[in-house]
Structure 1
Amino acid sequence: MSENWIEIGDLNDIPRLGARVVETPDGDIAVFRTKDDRVFAIRDHCPHKGGPLSQGMVTGNKVVCPMHDWKINLASGQAVAPDTGCAATYPVKMNGDTIMLSLTPNKDCSNK
């Protein structure tokens, strides 16, 4: 599998517990920064009703969808029980303080 890595900015471009949206030809990707500076990328589309996850509140390693309060695990894209569903996640790596994003989704769920 070929991974298409792009530079999307510096860690400090995303506030702690915040998100940034990266527009791609395949749809928007939300890039989140946790309180402890971990970075996750997930499709900006809640598996429930399609809400913009980038506008949700980050709590721990989860984001709360702003539409119906579904909690989505940032690492796996899986909805937290009792809800079910999945949003595609994308590989992220750091090059110093620069965030690199792969445009090839992980194979952790079928919702791309």
Structure 2
Amino acid sequence: MKWIEIPSHYLSEKSIIQLVELSEKSFCLVWNDDKWIAFSKKCPHAGANLSHGWCEGKDIVCPYHRHRFNLIDGRGAPGQGNYIDIYPLKESNGMLYIGVTENIWSRIF
């Protein structure tokens, strides 16, 4: 796993879902249940940008077709049959990092 620093300006706004676009990874970031959560930027149903959605409890709601996804495990609501990725985060020395899986090509080259 590769850990990528999330720039601090993304961490100053806790009231909205943010689209974070780094050279290595794009994802959504939200403050929920007193912690940061990183998840897929697109809804698997129709590709909507989840940063335009909203949180209801521990769920993210897609802005287009109202599909719901759990922010703990990424599972869609019963009957949806889909899910989003939830990415690992860690804090170290006051910085927040997202964990991304390196693909085979980046490990070779």
Q: TM-score, normalised by structure 1?
A: 0.75
Counterpart residue number, 2:14? 15
Q: CA deviation at 1:30?
A: 0.7
Q: CA deviation at 1:66?
A: 0.3
Q: CA deviation at 1:44?
A: 0.5
Alignment of 1:1-112 (within 5 A): 3-10=1-8, 12-16=11-15, 18-24=16-22, 28-34=26-32, 36-95=33-92, 97-104=94-101
Q: CA deviation at 1:58?
A: 1.1
User: What's the RMSD between the two structures over aligned residues?
Assistant: 2.3
- Measured in 2, the distance between the counterparts of 1:78 and 1:26 equals 25
- Consecutive aligned runs of 4 or more in structure 1 exceeding 6 Å deviation: none
How many positions carry a matched residue from both structures? Answer: 101
Q: TM-score, normalised by structure 2?
A: 0.77
- Structure with a larger share of its residues in helix: 2
User: Mind listing any 5+ residue stretches in structure 1 that lack a counterpart?
Assistant: 106-112
- Measured in 2, the distance between the counterparts of 1:97 and 1:59 equals 28
- Measured in 1, the distance between the counterparts of 2:24 and 2:48 equals 17
Quick one: which amino acid aligns to residue 21 of structure 1?
L
Which protein has the larger Cα radius of gyration, Structure 1 or Structure 2? 2
Flag the 1:37–1:14 CA change in 2: closer, same or farther, 3 A: farther
Quick one: percent identity of the two aligned structures?
28
Quick one: which amino acid aligns to residue 71 of structure 1?
R
